[in-house]
Amino acid sequence: MKRKIITSLIIIGIVIVILILLQNTLGNFKLRILNLAGIYVIFAVSMNLINGFTGQLALGHAGFIAVGAYTYTLLVMDSDLKSMNFFLEPIVPFLSSVHWPFLPAVIMGGLLAGLAGLLIGAPVLRLRGDYLAIATLGFGEIIRTVFTNTQSITNGSLGLKAIPMPKSFLFIEMKNAFTWWVWTAVIITVIFHFLLVSSSYGRALKAIREDEKAAEAMGVNIFKHKVWAMVISSFFAGIGGALLASLMTTIDPLMFRFTLTFNILLIVVLGGMGSISGSVISAVVVTILMEWLRFLDQGFMGLPEIPGLRMVVFSTLLLLVVLFYPRGLMGNEELSWNKITKMFQRFHMQPREVRK
């Protein structure tokens, strides 16, 4: 137990040092990608809780992200900004004067997303497999459609612009405060999920994934545990959504289509269903690739401009992973020093291990 705490403190320390270095060396554009990567880590890890650990194929993530993003935006904007945005139809009076600081607004975004997770999860989590996937996908889209049509609350399809970014981190003004907020949230999210899945409740969630009937026969209240997983997962999705809104500085309902859910699902599957470290690695890699591969879209080696060509790379990647690593990069195991040293040993010592 003590060794674990020490290693996690060391890892957090390393992350902080890397962040300090990156902040001072990276340009604005690259820093933005770093922030986006952090936000995607939050999305992927939280989705992994319900999909990977609990084994429930829930595809409503984009909807919860939208709830978080809109809640945050409406709370954090001051009344001038709001009247500027809502030129077609004025905002409802009780929202026009609210003006919250950054942190409470983000947390509120998470809480409301968690509430949405509860309201949707409670009826829907009685379904299983494909039916659950379809129902949650539908609810995700419903949230988006509702946001499109509530002109006086969300400004509908016009979206909200000029969302302010935080200028200080924990009351200290600094240049890259937002990066610190994002990565603090990342660290908290990752640690929370690590602790949760290694607790007795985490074991119960895994039991539900392995065999629902047996878990129930062992006294696990399946429904309650599923709903908890859903609520926690959507809470963190909402936090991520709030940060995403802040990063993008502009949101509109079209950002939260189900393709967003599938992008996150891609990350989770590549990293390994049921592996937090897998999700973290794959979220960072995929986000960076998404930006780096943009040159493919702009035409290269004499090819004409083909928008969306980089997505072909991801489809190929997904196909290859499903073919050769059906359980993703990490399977359902976590990265540990033991495994890393073992991997190197394997490279050095044996020509090839016979697979059992």
Partner 1 sequence: MNLLEVKGITMQFGGLKAVANFNLNIDKNEIVGLIGPNGAGKTTCFNVIAGEYVPTQGKVFFEGRDITKSRPDQITKLGIARTFQNIRLFKDLTVLENVLIANHLNLQSNIFSATFRLPWYQKEEKIMYERSLQLLDQLKLTQYKNEKASSLPYGLQRRLEIARALATQPKLLLLDEPAAGMNPQESKELMYLIQELRDKFDLTIFMIEHHMPVIMGVCQRILVLDYGVTIAEGTPKEIQSNERVIAAYLGVEHIA
Angle at Cα 249 formed by Cα 245 and Cα 253, nearest 5°? Answer: 55
Q: Give the residue, chosen from 100, 169, 201, 314, that forms a contact with partner 1 under the rule CB under 8 A.
A: 201
Site string for partner 1, 319-338 (x = CB under 8 A): -------------x------
Check residue 200 for interaction with partner 1 (CB under 8 A): yes
Side chain identity at 166, as an amino acid letter? P
Residue 80, token pair as written in the block:
């001038």
Number of C-beta neighbours around residue 138 at 10 A: 16
Q: Of 113 and 163, which CB lies nearer to partner 1 in the complex structure?
A: 113
Q: Of 292 and 325, which CB lies nearer to partner 1 in the complex structure?
A: 325
Q: Of 217 and 349, which CB lies nearer to partner 1 in the complex structure?
A: 217
Check residue 192 for interaction with partner 1 (CB under 8 A): yes
Stretch that binds partner 1, among 24-32, 199-207, 239-247, 345-353 (CB under 8 A): 199-207
Residue 333, token pair as written in the block:
């195991």
For residue 211, the minimal CB distance to partner 1 (Å) is 5
Q: Of 53 and 86, which CB lies nearer to partner 1 in the complex structure?
A: 53
For residue 212, the minimal CB distance to partner 1 (Å) is 10
Site for partner 1 in 203-242 (CB under 8 A): 203-204, 206-207, 210-211, 213-222, 228
For residue 81, the minimal CB distance to partner 1 (Å) is 36
Check residue 128 for interaction with partner 1 (CB under 8 A): no
Rg (CA), the chain: 21
Q: How many residues bind partner 1 (CB under 8 A)?
A: 24
Q: Which residues of this chain interact with partner 1, rule CB under 8 A? A: 192, 195-196, 199-201, 203-204, 206-207, 210-211, 213-222, 228, 332
